[in-house]
Chains A and B, each alone.
Chain A
Amino acid sequence: MSTGRRVGLFVTCLVDLMRPRIGFAALKLLEGAGFEVEVPATQTCCGQPGWNSGERSSARALAEKLIAEFERFDYVVVPSGSCAGMIKVHYAEVFAGEGAWLARVERLAATTWELSDFLVNVARLDRVPGDFHGAITYHDSCSGLRELGVKEQPRRLLAYMPGVALREMKNCEECCGFGGTFSIKFGDVSAAIAESKCENIAASGADSVVLGDLGCMLNIEGRLRRRGDERTRVLHIAELLAGEERR
């Protein structure tokens, strides 16, 4: 019988492959908030890369798989605005005109949350395990911000840690230049946009840039290091909140 507090954690393919510790940080936060969390072992990808590239059939196949894996939970939580946006906003376009699928999509979309949004608006956290000390700046990732309205949620959570000094950068809502396959197809343009982002990060005076999406994270960290910045840390908000950020 459902307790009404069963969470399916979709760690996303990038966290799974590149930064598992972010997945464990999310797990810790959700369990700490009193949820029963399960990570379906067969999960892979939400289909966004194919969808954004116009590959409807592969996007659809992966969407079907994800729906089957996650529709049994009370909540689905995703430590990424763009993957959560894919499920909440774009799955309905993937299955446009297909009544039976749309009903399942609608149900899943209603239970799916971006991590910080979930922690604030469902879990209603008023404190967090982490105790980070330092000057940070927050990069608002595009999909989370513009598709899901994730803006105040991460800042509210960060404010629970008294050691955090938030120094907003110029144009914090502007794209970092990642754009999925755009970053490879137009590598030079993508890196030039990332460079503007890095300049704004540097000018903010923060020691760390915090964000909620793996794509931006790899892009910004990659550009910072290439431009010779070995010092500025790039951290996912889950790491900070869970107190799992590593030196």
Chain B
Amino acid sequence: MRVQSMHFHARAHGALEDARLQSVLKRFGSGFAEKRAAAREAYGVEAFEALRTASAAIRDRALGALDTWLLRFEAEATRRGTRVLWAKDTAEVRQYVLEICARHGLKKAIKSKSMVSEEASLNEALEAQGVQAVETDLGEYIIQLAKEPPSHIIAPAIHKDKDQVADLFAEHHRRPRLDDIRAMTDEARQMLRGHFLSADLGISGGNFLVAETGSVALVTNEGNGRMVTTLPRVHVAITGVEKVIPTLEDLSTLNRVLPRSATGQDVENYFSIVTGPRREGDLDGPEHMYVILVDAGRTRFLGGDMQQMLRCIRCGACMNHCPVFKAVGGHAYGWVYPGPMGSVLTPVYRGIENALDLPQAATLCGACHVACPVQIPLPELLRKLRERQMQARLRPWRERAGFALWAFAARRPRLYALATAVAVRALKLMGGARGRISRLPLGSGWTLGRDMPAPEGRTFREQYARRAR
């Protein structure tokens, strides 16, 4: 997927101006966050916090010896008949999948949700080679019809309202327009049924890779993941190298925290552990199974001061709790991953200079950090990226000059006293009788949608000194 993150400013502005999107976002509101809070409450707040700590520890243990666990995964998966392929970038992902299609003569792919395949623009590559790709997660199916990228990692069509979906279905299904959600879902199900039965390739992501058994664990709510991994002749699972965990026991812990953090469910509707292709005597399953392990920027986090980011289990809690995401939606972020996790991943995966706004586009409110099931200190990571931007002199000179000037004055109390005494008097005058400023000369961003309350007119230090005298 092309990176559009350099245009965050304009895209966010567009999102704020889009009345239809705003009404959808308003309805989305804090829904997931409230469900997560209820699930946490029901689990027991203390126990849930202990679960977060345990989950972070599991992820750290895996990441601390990532090579070891990946090789163990490869050995165990291979032993059970899975072919493991290593992709250093998204070009290699496309190449591998196309090679597999050519080798087995595959013509039609059904896909379960995979954000890594979005990174790789896999659908476009398949279509270009004459392989039809059909998204089977309902949300992904909708945005595939609309030819749009996902706007949320677990609810990809969250930016669409019912009427928009009804129009899309009427246009593409060539049936009378429906306006009942249940009926629309049934119709999509009927449409997908044919695809499920006629596909020869199934492409899935992987929520976790279990090293000790060489298994791919998949979490879905619609059961489509199970169809994708069992019906077609060939199954290809594509996932990031960081997704490996040591044991099934670890999987059990992480699968307690994942659905609760994502949608507030105690357990997702379908949980599959896929271990190798069909064996002698199995009733179903693919003849061939491949796992593509993808780097594409992930190992850049390893060993550095931002390694915690690789703990991410893609639940979406950070964006569900993010005031910026809730105001502008996911497309503003301009690449595959929106919200706080995306604002850390995109600059590291795709180059810090290609996503300058993203680490800045956060209030550092900390809501993502406290919601994260694996305790990733997202605000701290965003701050570190800001520091890297400063060091690389990628911030505008006015901003750098502003901070330099502020720091220069604030270290010289007498100069600071003089400058601030003048400034607060001037601002007080500007505020007039109503005591507020509606256009701030050096802070026009502020007064775009707000007044600036005027200062009282004398600094605290002036008044305190006078009082002490």
Contacts and interface: CB of A to CB of B under 8 A. Distances in A.
Given A17-B423, A44-B416, A222-B452, A187 B407 contact: no
B399 A53 contact: yes
A218 B363 CA distance: 15
Interface string B386-427: 111111000100011001101101110100100010011000
Contact of A182 (B360, B387, B452): B360
Contact of A142 (B366, B416, B456): B366
A143 B366 contact: yes
B31 interface: no
B445 interface: yes
A139 interface: no
Interface stretch (A102-110, A151-159, A171-179): A171-179
Interface size grouping (class) on chain B: 35 or more
Nearest to B464: A39
A190 B406 CA distance: 23
Interface string A13-29: 10111111101100000
A45 interface: yes
B448 A175 contact: no
B453 interface: yes
A100 interface: no
Given A61-B411, A189-B327, A193-B327, A16 B446 contact: no
Given A23-B460, A186-B445, A146 B363 contact: no
B361 interface: yes
Interface residues of A, number: 67
Contacts of B384: 54
B446 A175 contact: no
A87 interface: no
Given A147-B366, A179-B363, A45 B410 contact: yes
Contacts of B391: 54
A20 B459 contact: yes
Interface of A: 11, 13, 15-21, 23-24, 39, 41-45, 49-58, 61-62, 65, 93, 142-143, 146-147, 171, 173-175, 177-196, 217-219, 221-223, 225-226
25 contacts: A17-B459, A20-B463, A41-B465, A44-B410, A44-B411, A44-B416, A54-B386, A54-B391, A54-B395, A55-B407, A65-B411, A142-B366, A146-B366, A146-B367, A175-B367, A177-B323, A184-B446, A187-B447, A187-B449, A189-B361, A192-B16, A194-B449, A196-B326, A217-B453, A226-B449
Given A16-B460, A19-B455, 9 more contacts: A11-B460, A41-B465, A55-B407, A58-B404, A174-B323, A187-B448, A189-B16, A192-B328, A222-B450
Interface of B: 9, 12-13, 16, 30, 323-324, 326-328, 360-367, 369-370, 380, 383-391, 395, 399-400, 403-404, 406-407, 409-411, 413, 416, 420, 423-424, 436, 438, 443-453, 455-456, 458-461, 463-465
